[in-house]
Chains A and B, each alone.
Chain A
Amino acid sequence: MKKVYGSATEALDGLLFDGMTIAAGGFGLCGIPELLIDAIRDAGTKNLTIASNNAGVDDFGLGVLLKTRQVKKMMSSYVGENAEFMRQYLSGELELEFNPQGTLAERMRAGGAGIPGFYTRTGVGTQIAEGKEHKEFGGETFILERGIMADLSIVKAWKADTTGNAIFRKTARNFNPPAAKCGKICVLEVEEIVEPGTLDPDHVHLPGIYVNRLIQGQHEKRIEQRTTRAA
């Protein structure tokens, strides 16, 4: 079965619909599926619910979908870098569900692993626990969090072979593997597609079974906080 597509738009053909839930990889602007995000903007799909740790910045990453008002709801842990996000949220145009970062990652991992819920200590005694089932284990209190099962995963890796076996680079891995696993369909963008046999099977981070469609492209890889020391 062919997994490699010619462009982000082609790779998303037939997958997008209004009101869908999308899980996106990335941390800040690091390792985000920038080509697929732009293609979703071009497609104009509306009322999206997006599970992503962050919401991009005003003109890059998921920020471009906020600008075009394509997003109904964000499920995130930190959204501080995006002024347009804040404006829409404070005016009530955008729903926001805050998730502790590790809870969000585990909700994706669990959802992708066929686990509909799990108990965690994170958030007990805080606003996050309100309305959630509490349960004692060994004298300690935990809350029930639900696995996320998205309609679509959009993720970014460094390299993949044509069967979708993928490797990530440094901290650009972040939310990409858990996000990739929790969608009914996963579309992966990479910097380079290689032939099977090129990647060491021992070094594959995301086995191709999780990847349905695959594209290669040029990435801007914008840096949010360029911090340097003197040479």
Chain B
Amino acid sequence: MAWDRNQMAARAAQELQDGMYVNLGIGIPTLVANYIPEGVTVTLQSENGMLGIGPFPTEENVDADLINAGKQTVTALPHTAYFDSAESFAMIRGGKINMAILGAMEVAENGDIANWMIPGKLVKGMGGAMDLVAGVERIVVVMDHTNKAGESKLLKACTLPLTAQGVVKRIITNLGVLDVVEGGLKIIECADGVSEDDIRNATEAAIVN
């Protein structure tokens, strides 16, 4: 047993606190918006120039001028604000965004993150990922614990080109929740039916108590 994509997103949503400004990455992080806890109001930022992302539009409300950073059509909310890309990254780089929840290909025990390129494979670019991980106050990664071959994606050191050094604070995987602490990763929580030993066995990074 372990968490599926939606359960990982639901667990990540528990990280959100009332009043936060948050940027959600593409993939599982986008699903986090579906699980924002009752009584918690967060404002989602889209780095293409929007604070306050609303739900997807109905067919008749589709607007070519209103998209999110994944280029999907979205809607606005009563408190939405629009701005240009330089302003958008000023608030990111300036530390005004409280939390970013992002996917990753690898995370190292010192908080290094790799999520933008695999040498020899098609490289599409980093988009806003490098700015987000370098500028946002708290970086939470949501990712599968292991790759398809069963090898740990939580490593002693990243093998892929880095997106940033030492920035990840918390990792939510299909097996549980781990924090980056002095000396390695600390198990905070196990997924349903997963033991601490299961996590240790699936993790290359040092686990500290």
Interface positions of A (Cβ within 8 A of B)? 27-31, 53, 76-81, 86, 98, 100-106, 108-109, 120-128, 158, 168-178, 205, 221-231
B134 and A78 form a contact (CB under 8 A): no
Mask, B59-74, CB within 8 Å of A = 1, is 1101111111011111
B67 and A28 form a contact (CB under 8 A): yes
If the complex has contacts A102-B135, A105-B86, A122-B135, are A225 and B124 also in contact, measured as CB distance less than 8 A?
A: no
Q: Could you say which residues of chain B place their CB within 8 Å of the CB of A103?
A: 89, 130-131
Q: Could you say which residues of chain B place their CB within 8 Å of the CB of A229?
A: 55-58
In the bound complex, CA of A108 to CA of B84 (Å): 12
In the bound complex, CA of A111 to CA of B60 (Å): 40
18 A-B pairs whose Cβ atoms sit less than 8 Å apart in the complex:
A27-B48, A28-B48, A28-B71, A53-B85, A101-B131, A105-B86, A126-B163, A158-B65, A168-B84, A170-B50, A171-B82, A178-B84, A225-B70, A225-B72, A226-B62, A227-B73, A228-B57, A229-B57
In the bound complex, CA of A175 to CA of B70 (Å): 16
A127 and B93 form a contact (CB under 8 A): no
Given contacts A100-B126, A127-B161, 19 further A-B contacts (CB under 8 A): A27-B49, A27-B67, A28-B67, A78-B125, A101-B47, A101-B130, A105-B85, A121-B135, A124-B134, A126-B165, A127-B162, A170-B63, A171-B49, A171-B82, A175-B85, A221-B64, A225-B72, A226-B62, A228-B62
B56 and A228 form a contact (CB under 8 A): yes
Q: Could you say which residues of chain B place their CB within 8 Å of the CB of A231?
A: 58-60
Min CB distance A230 to B, Å, is 7
Q: Looking at the complex, which one of A81, A171, A222 makes contact with B48 (CB distance below 8 Å)?
A: A171
Q: Looking at the complex, which one of B49, B65, B67, B161 makes contact with A224 (CB distance below 8 Å)?
A: B67
B162 and A126 form a contact (CB under 8 A): yes
A222 and B64 form a contact (CB under 8 A): yes
If the complex has contacts A171-B65, A175-B84, are A123 and B49 also in contact, measured as CB distance less than 8 A?
A: no
Interface positions of B (Cβ within 8 A of A)? 46-50, 55-60, 62-68, 70-74, 76, 82-86, 88-90, 92-93, 112, 122-131, 134-135, 161-165
In the bound complex, CA of A138 to CA of B84 (Å): 29
In the bound complex, CA of A205 to CA of B67 (Å): 19
Residue of B nearest to A121 (CB): B134
A122 and B57 form a contact (CB under 8 A): no
Q: Could you say which residues of chain B place their CB within 8 Å of the CB of A228?
A: 56-59, 62, 73
Min CB distance B44 to A, Å, is 13
Q: Could you say which residues of chain A place their CB within 8 Å of the CB of B82?
A: 168, 170-171, 173
Residue of A nearest to B161 (CB): A127
If the complex has contacts A174-B48, A227-B72, are A126 and B161 also in contact, measured as CB distance less than 8 A?
A: yes
Q: Could you say which residues of chain B place their CB within 8 Å of the CB of A124?
A: 134, 164-165
B128 and A230 form a contact (CB under 8 A): no
Q: Could you say which residues of chain B place their CB within 8 Å of the CB of A205?
A: 84
Q: Could you say which residues of chain A place their CB within 8 Å of the CB of B86?
A: 105-106, 108-109, 177-178
Residue among A101, A109, A225, A230 with max Cβ neighbours from chain B (10 Å): A101
B126 and A77 form a contact (CB under 8 A): yes
Q: Looking at the complex, which one of A78, A86, A108, A173 makes contact with B127 (CB distance below 8 Å)?
A: A78
A223 and B64 form a contact (CB under 8 A): yes
Q: Could you say which residues of chain A place their CB within 8 Å of the CB of B164?
A: 123-126
In the bound complex, CA of A105 to CA of B55 (Å): 27
B134 and A123 form a contact (CB under 8 A): yes
Residue among B48, B55, B59, B123 with max Cβ neighbours from chain A (10 Å): B48
Residue among B58, B88, B90, B130 with max Cβ neighbours from chain A (10 Å): B130
Q: Could you say which residues of chain B place their CB within 8 Å of the CB of A177?
A: 84, 86
Q: Could you say which residues of chain B place their CB within 8 Å of the CB of A158?
A: 65
Min CB distance B130 to A, Å, is 4
In the bound complex, CA of A202 to CA of B112 (Å): 44
If the complex has contacts A30-B67, A100-B130, are A76 and B88 also in contact, measured as CB distance less than 8 A?
A: no
Q: Could you say which residues of chain A place their CB within 8 Å of the CB of B85?
A: 27, 53, 101-102, 104-105, 174-175, 178
